[in-house]
Amino acid sequence: MLNALFSSRSFKHGVHPPDFKALTSGLPIRRLPFADKLIVPLSQHTGKPSIPLVKPGQEVVRGEPIAEADGFFSVPQHAPATGRIENIRLMPSARGPKIESIILQVYGGSTQQEMYEYRHDVDAMNTDEIIQAVQNSGMVGLGGAAFPTHVKMKPPPEHRVDTLVANGCECEPYLTCDHRIMLEQPDRLIKGIRLFMRALGVERAVIGVEDNKMDAVRVIQKHLEPNDTISVMDVPTKYPQGAEKMLIQSVLGRRVPPGQLPSSVGVGVFNVGTLAQSGELLPLGRGVIERVVTVSGPGVERPGNYLVPVGTPVRFLLEHAGTTADAKEVILGGPMMGMTVSALDVPVTKAMSGMVVFEHDQENHQGPELPCIRCGYCLSACPMQLNPSMLGMLATSSDYETMASDYHLNDCFECGSCTYVCPSNIPLVQYFRIAKSVNRDMAAKA
C-alpha cells in the first residue's frame, strides 16, 4: 500500500506543456494523394547513406528497392510510387545540408498498386533472418530518431536483453500519429511486437502509453490474450515521457547509466509506429514507403493524421491540409524537439512524425533574453538531472570543454524542458546544441 503511494511510476522532473492533441486525436488516418514528384533522400537515417540501384530515366514500380544499404549501419530505400526516376542529385533536406536524393516522377495514371513483394514465413525465421528482413525493409526508428531498427535488434554481446518496451507515449504536443496507429492497427502492432520479441529472444514486452490515451490502452488490451506475455501500462502524462531512458525508468524502474544503451539494463525500446509497420511489412517482404504524419497547429485549416508517401514535399502536404492566411512557421516533428524548416521543398522522411504550423502572432512569443536569476526551475525540469543553469553560464563564456567534462553535457538529449520553464527566456537548449556541435567539430579535427 505504502509502496503504491510512494512509487510514482514515472521518472523525476519533466514538464507539463499543454498538449493540443484534441485537434487531431479523434481523426482517423487518411491517405494523401501522390505528389507529381517525390524526393527520396539517400540518407534519411543515422549512419551511412544508401547506394542508389537505379539510373535516371529508369521506370520503377511502387515498393521496388531503389537504393541498397551500404554496410550494416545503413538501410535500403524503396520506391514510394510507380513512376520514372528523373534524376539523382543534391536536394535540400530538412536539416539544412543538401543530400543526394532520388527524384521520382510519379505516373499520374498508374493504379499505384504495390507490385513488389517477397513473402516470408516469418514464423519459421530465426533471429538473424528476422534482423536481415528488418534491414531489408529499410526500417528506421519512426518516432523521430531515424536510427536503423535492425542495429538496435543486435545489442552488444555482453548485454542480455530480457524485456521489450514498445514506446507509445508520444509526449510531444500536437502529435497524434502513434495514438491513431495504436487505435486503428493494434493487430499489426501486436504482430510486430511478437516478431521482435522472437528476434530479441525476450519473454516479456510492455507497451508504455501515456495516460491521456486510455482509449488506446483499452483497444490494445482487447487484442491481448489472457495471461499474455505482452502487457500495456499507462504511465503519467509528462514531457519527455517518450524519451527512451525516461520510459524505461517509468515502466520498469530501471535506470540506464549515463552514456549507455538501453540494452545495458536489458531493455530494447521500439516506437509503436516502427513495430506496427514491421508487423505489416515483414511477412510481405516489403519496404517502408509511407508513414503516418500528423499535420496540426493553429496555422492548419484541416488538421489530421495523413498516410503520406515518403518523399512527398512538405509544400504538397501543406497544400492538401490547407494553411491559414497567417501561417508563418512550419516545424517538422513536434514543437518541443522538432525542427523549423527554411524551405518548403524538403521531403517527408521516414522519421518525420508530424508537422506543426504556427501563425504570425505566435512566433517569438518569448520576450528578450534576460540574465539568469538562479531560480533553479531548469534544475527541477531536467529529466536527466543535469544543471542547465550552470551549463548555460558556461556556454555564455564559450567554455564548451568544461560543459562536457564536468557537467555531463553529452547526457543532455535536447528535450528543451529547461528552455520551456526558464522565466528569463534563456534559450538554454540552443546553447547546448551549439556547444555540442562545437565539441563534435573539435573532436573530429583532433
Partner 1 sequence: MLNIVVAVGFMAGLGLILATVLVIANRRLFVYEDPKIDEVEDLLPHSNCGACGTAGCRVFAEKLVVGELQPGACTVNSAEMNQIIANYLGVELGSQEAQVARLACAGGSNVAQRYGDYRGVESCRAAALVAGGGKGCAWGCLGLADCERVCDFDAIIMDRHDLPQVIDDLCTACGDCVDICPRDLFSLQPASHRLWVACKNLEKGDLAEAECVVACNGCGRCAADAPGELVTMVNNLAVIDYSQNTHASRVAIERCPTGAIVWLEGGVHKGQEAVKIVRKEALPLK
Please report, as residue ranges, which positions from 73 to 92 form the binding site for partner 1 (by CB under 8 A). 90, 92
- Which listed range, 120-128, 145-153, 380-388, 434-442, lies at the site for partner 1 (CB under 8 A)? 434-442
Report the residue from 3, 111, 364, 397 that binds partner 1 according to the rule CB under 8 A: 364
Q: Is 179 within 8 Å of 22 (Cβ atoms)?
A: no
Q: Which of 215, 162, 210 is nearest to 186 (CA)?
A: 215
C-alpha span between 275 and 65 (Å, rounded) = 21
For residues 386 to 415, the per-residue mask of contacts with partner 1, x marking binding by CB under 8 A and - elsewhere, is ------------x-----------------
Nearest CB to partner 1, comparing residues 260 and 437: 437
Q: Which of 59, 128, 319, 363 binds partner 1 (CB under 8 A)?
A: 363
CB of 282 to partner 1, least distance (A): 34
C-alpha gyration radius of the chain: 22
Q: Should residue 342 be labelled a site residue for partner 1 when binding is judged by CB under 8 A? A: yes
Minimum CB separation of residue 98 from partner 1 in Å reads: 4
Q: Does 224 bind partner 1 (CB under 8 A)?
A: no
Question: Which amino acid is present at 341?
Answer: V
Q: Output the smallest distance, CB 428 to partner 1, in A.
A: 10
Is residue 287 a contact partner of residue 328, using CB atoms and an 8 Å limit?
A: no
Element (H, E) at 40: strand 37-41
Among 98, 160, 302, 360, binds partner 1 (CB under 8 A): 98
Among 28, 57, 97, 371, binds partner 1 (CB under 8 A): 97
d(CA 306, CA 304): 6
**Cα dihedral value 244, 247, 249, 251, nearest 10:** -140
DSSP helix/strand/coil, 116:
coil
Minimum distance between the CB of residue 3 and partner 1, rounded to whole angstroms? 44
303: which 3 cell numbers?
488538421
360 binds partner 1 (CB under 8 A): no
Is 71:41 a contact under the CB 8 Å cutoff?
no
How far from each other are the two terminal CA atoms of the chain, in whole angstroms?
A: 56
* 414 CB-contact burial (10 Å; exposed 0-12 / middle 13-18 / buried 19+): middle
| Nearest residue to 272 via CA among 168, 170, 171 | 168
| DSSP assignment letter at 350 | T
- Per CB under 8 A, does 362 bind partner 1? no
437 binds partner 1 (CB under 8 A): yes
Range in contact with partner 1 (rule: CB under 8 A) among 125-133, 246-254, 342-350, 402-410: 342-350
Query: Which of 33, 56, 96, 201 is the binder for partner 1 (CB under 8 A)?
Result: 96
Number of residues that bind partner 1 (CB under 8 A): 26
In the complex with partner 1, the residue whose CB is nearer, 284 or 438, is: 438
Cα separation of 244 and 152, whole Å?
12
Q: How far is the CB of 318 from partner 1 (least distance, A)?
A: 14
Which residue type is seen at 192? G
CB nearer to partner 1: pick between 216 and 341: 341
352 binds partner 1 (CB under 8 A): no
**Going edge to edge, which strands form the sheet with 83-92?**
37-41, 98-106, 83-92, 59-60
Instruction: For residue 207, give the 3-state DSSP assignment.
Output: strand
User: What binding mask, one character per residue, do residues 311-340 give for partner 1 by CB under 8 A, x or -?
Assistant: ----------------------------xx
- Which residues of this protein are in contact with partner 1, per CB under 8 A? 90, 92, 94-98, 339-343, 346, 363-364, 398, 427, 430-431, 433-434, 437-438, 441-442, 445
